[in-house]
Amino acid sequence: MTAGHGERLVERLRRSPEADPFGHSCSPASPPLGERPSLTGSSSDAQPEVGRRSTKYLRREEHLRPTLTGPAGRTQTLRQGGDPPPNLEGPTPRPLVIRTTDAGEAAELQAAGARLVRHSHDMVLDLASIRPAPDWARPRPPTGLRLSGITGWGAGLGAASLMAYHPGHPDASGSLEKAQKYYEGLLAGESAGPLLEEASCVVTDTSGDTLAAAVVVTRLGPEPWGWGGGPWVADVFVVPVHQGRGLGRMLLWRAIARCHAAGELRIGLTVTEGNPAERLYHALGFRRCRTLFVLDAP
């Protein structure tokens, strides 16, 4: 499904103080979270639900698995917990969070004063269509670096992500405390599905103290937009001082090979529109399957 099919998803709510405004990092989704032709190698024949409205707000870590639920043709305004607020017309209404896969609708909303917070694409690789090279599953990092398991690295991932995601980046957490809380929850399986430790890892210096890059892979269940369920790259990043050394490609090779060896049918991720990393994802075989626009409306 592509944005041209006119699927619309609108979420209106009062944003809770702790809610992150960003809808995926590569990201599901990807986000981030998204782009989407039909998924190949999928065990699910379910078609995207067009014109249905979501009944819940998806926090930053949950944009990777957006949902399309609720009665068709009717906008619902709900609290984060799911119960309708007693009064939607309070004296100081908070901004509305709007999500849509319709590019035309997103343009109209922006023309009317809405602010585009995130424009992302969900991409999927059909694992049955590839044959990973023998060295993908056990790559050799550049001199001075080594691969390590990801367990226990929640706080370290949070600190490193502040360097990888500059202020203003859709995946930036904003503070060390928020970043550490996010990654600790991610590794605990609380935000984007259970962690797949075998496919996830970090790259550190030889002392094991300094983190250079990381990939976090989780398992997301089937989604109405066409995702058949399986491994999802919830995050992959390289800190600036180590960029340009092929670490991102190496980590994705490793994740792809290990998921392929485990018999998985597909692996997905989310990338922000304009991110040069999408060229790498495309070269590895990932293809767009859905585009998502997240906006703030006054």
CA–CA distance, 248 with 3 (Å, rounded to integer): 28
Q: Has residue 23 got a pLDDT over 60? A: no
Please, which pLDDT band fits residue 120 given cuts at 50, 70 and 90?
very high
Two structure tokens written together for 276: 């040069």
Q: What is the CATH number of the domain that holds 226?
A: 3.40.630.30
pTM (2 d.p.): 0.71
Whole-number pLDDT of residue 89: 52
187 versus 62: the higher-pLDDT residue is 187
Mean pLDDT of the chain: 75
Q: Number of H helices and number of E strands within the chain?
A: 5, 8
**149 is in which domain, residue-wise?**
129-267
Closest CA to 101 of 114, 84, 83, 119: 119
Segment 235-265, tens digit of pLDDT = 999 999 999 999 999 999 999 999 999 999 9
| 111 lies in some domain | no
Q: Which residues of 173-202 are buried (b: 16+ CB within 10 A; e: fewer)?
A: beeeebbbbbbbebbeeebbbebbebbbbb
CA–CA distance, 75 with 71 (Å, rounded to integer): 8
42 versus 177: the higher-pLDDT residue is 177
Whole-number pLDDT of residue 6: 35
| 156 lies in some domain | yes
Two structure tokens written together for 268: 């997905």
| 234 lies in some domain | yes
If one counts every other C-beta atom within 10 angstroms of the C-beta of residue 55, the result is 17
| 286 lies in some domain | no
| Whole-number percent of the chain with pLDDT over 70 | 68
CA–CA distance, 52 with 181 (Å, rounded to integer): 32
Segment 51-110, tens digit of pLDDT = 333 322 333 323 332 222 223 322 222 223 334 444 445 555 677 999 999 999 999 999
| 228 lies in some domain | yes
| 31 lies in some domain | no
Segment 24-34, tens digit of pLDDT = 333 443 333 32
| 100 lies in some domain | no
First to last CA, the chain: 30
Number of domains observed in the structure of the chain: 1
Token pair 């930036």: residue:
172
